[in-house]
């Protein structure tokens, strides 16, 4: 695996420091509710697979995350889908993490669902509140919201990367994949 491997225990910190807003939003919802719905588990689960979480570690991660359910319920209702994402069940396909364009253009989240792209799917009030809560300064928040208003969601995410990684001195390509965002961020931290 090109990105190395991570353990269930490392997920909180790596997501907090390196993941794009779509995945941090899913992670935060999972921690707050001890649950996320199917669309979120799929989007986030494949992302985690892409950053190097093995199927064994994924089982540990999701079992602990769904703290309010029994082992029995977990095995019956969730374990299969986790193994499925890793190609160990059903049609045994090697499912790839979703790209930004797939997340932005297909299967929009309805109420109570947390998947999707915050730049595309949050109301502008919620997006602004989230960016401010992350301590992004007002001028940068305005720039990001302007891009969103003009439907440049991936440019907004690229700007988000730039303003949250001031140590990055190089011009980066536009973000087209959540896993690229993560890898760029991780690489910067390792420099």
Nearest to 128 by CA among 148, 109, 145, 153: 145
| Contact with ligand SF4 (CB under 6 A) among 82, 175, 184, 185 | 175
Whichever of 21 and 36 has its CB closer to ligand SF4, that residue is 21
User: Sign (positive/negative) of CA torsion 4, 24, 14, 31?
Assistant: negative
- Find the shortest distance in angstroms from Cβ 92 to ligand SF4: 27
How many Å from the N-terminal Cα to the C-terminal Cα in the chain? 20
Phi and psi, residue 53, nearest 5°? -85, 120
- Find the shortest distance in angstroms from Cβ 175 to ligand SF4: 5
Residues 33-62 that bind ligand SF4 (CB under 6 A): none
Q: How many CB atoms are closer than 10 A to CB 4? A: 8
What residues have CB less than 8 Å from 94, skipping those under 6 apart? 87
Whose tokens are 């570690």? That residue is 57
| Contact with ligand SF4 (CB under 6 A) among 51, 103, 127, 131 | 103
| Contact with ligand SF4 (CB under 6 A) among 44, 62, 86, 181 | 181
For position 15 contacting ligand SF4 by CB under 6 A, the verdict is: no
With contacts defined by CB under 6 A, how many residues of the chain interact with ligand SF4? Answer: 15
Specify the 3-state DSSP secondary structure of 2.
coil
Residue span binding ligand SF4 (CB under 6 A) among the ranges 56-64, 84-92, 140-148, 173-181: 173-181
Rounded Cα–Cα distance for residues 84 and 93 (Å): 8
For position 122 contacting ligand SF4 by CB under 6 A, the verdict is: no
Residue span binding ligand SF4 (CB under 6 A) among the ranges 50-58, 68-76, 96-104, 131-139: 96-104
Q: Which structure tokens are listed for 14?
A: 């790596």
Q: Which residues bind ligand SF4 (CB under 6 A)?
A: 20-22, 100, 103-104, 117-119, 153-154, 157, 175, 178, 181
């Amino acid at each position: 695996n090109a990105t190395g491997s991570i353990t269930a225990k490392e997920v909180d910190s790596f997501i907090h420091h390196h993941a794009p807003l779509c995945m941090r939003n899913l992670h935060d919802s999972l921690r707050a509710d001890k649950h996320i719905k199917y669309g979120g588990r799929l989007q986030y689960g494949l992302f985690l697979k892409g950053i190097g979480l093995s199927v064994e570690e994924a089982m540990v991660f999701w079992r602990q995350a769904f703290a309010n359910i029994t082992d029995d319920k977990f095995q019956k209702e969730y374990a299969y889908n986790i193994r499925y994402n890793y190609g160990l069940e059903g049609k045994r396909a090697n499912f790839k993490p979703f790209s930004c364009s797939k997340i932005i253009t297909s299967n929009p989240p309805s109420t109570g669902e947390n998947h999707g792209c915050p730049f595309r799917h949050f109301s502008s009030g919620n997006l602004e509140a989230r960016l401010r809560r992350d301590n992004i300064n007002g001028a940068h928040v305005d720039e990001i919201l302007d891009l969103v208003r003009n439907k440049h969601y991936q440019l907004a995410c690229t700007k988000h990367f730039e303003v949250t990684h001031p140590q990055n001195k190089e011009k980066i390509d536009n973000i087209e994949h959540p896993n690229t965002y993560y890898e760029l961020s991780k690489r910067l931290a390792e420099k």
